[in-house]
Amino acid sequence: NAGVMQNPRHLVRRRGQEARLRCSPMKGHSHVYWYRQLPEEGLKFMVYLQKENIIDESGMPKERFSAEFPKEGPSILRIQQVVRGDSAAYFCASSLRTGENTEAFFGQGTRLTVV
Amino acid sequence: RKEVEQDPGPFNVPEGATVAFNCTYSNSASQSFFWYRQDCRKEPKLLMSVYSSGNEDGRFTAQLNRASQYISLLIRDSKLSDSATYLCVVNHSGAGSYQLTFGKGTKLSVIP
């Protein structure tokens, strides 16, 4: 049973380009979360999705960032017109359910570098 | 006040030592508590959940004090492989959402 798969592992973009980060949850998991970790900082919640639905996007920047989790295929975190401050590690996690003591499993992350 | 606060360390301890990490959280409605471990440039991995009655997993013991909003992790007989950053994590589900809030982590280096 493969874990949470993220690709690419490393992504370099020039300022103004678009970045697309992909996440395939663990088999059977329908809950997906995206987190961002800036250098020397803790992980910050961005968005929580279930299949075809955004449940909570309270951690998403208001502009340039969007996320989806289509019926078929991986979850996508999309960053338009990237800026240097977007450089970070982006982690995706998935869980089988939500609620007390639910374990979330993390992917290996995508390290985005904006040059 | 930050939602989850930890001493960033680093804690440099010799092999075999006992080391304790503390964490405080601000949201009294938090429901679930965890310790995750993160190795350098890797993803966080669950170390253990933390239960109100306290729980132990081998050399690791976790305690929760809801009244003081305080969580602890004790590592006995430290191994070199325990060197990592330990993340205190709390969850509060509400309005149908599920969010994990992470502390910045406490860095541990176990020295030969």
AA identity, residue A17: Q
Q: Mapping DSSP to helix (H, G, I), strand (E, B) and coil, where does residue A86 land?
A: helix
> Are B42 and A100 inside 8 Å of each other by CB?
no
> Among residues B86, B88, B89, which one has the least CA distance to residue B106?
B86
CA distance A23 to A93: 8
Give the minimum alpha-carbon distance from A21 to chain B in angstroms, rounded to a whole number.
Answer: 16
Calpha distance A11→A5 (Å, rounded) = 15
- Closest-CA residue of B relative to A95 is B98
- CB contact under 8 Å between A42 and B46, yes or no, is no
The pLDDT profile of chain A, 115 residues, written as one tens digit per residue, is 579 999 999 999 999 999 999 999 999 999 999 999 998 888 999 999 998 899 999 999 999 999 999 988 999 999 999 999 999 999 999 998 877 778 889 999 999 999 9
Residues of chain B with pLDDT under 50: none
Contact B3, B25 (CB under 8 A): yes
Kindly list the residues from chain B whose CB atom is less than 8 angstroms away from the CB atom of residue A91.
Answer: 43-44
Taken in order A24, A27, A33, A38, is the CA torsion positive or negative?
negative
Give the Cα separation of A97 and A104 in Å (integer).
Answer: 9
Question: A42 vs B32: CB contact, 8 Å cut-off?
Answer: no
Question: CB–CB of B100 and A31 under 8 A?
Answer: no
Token pair, residue B105, equals: 């982590």
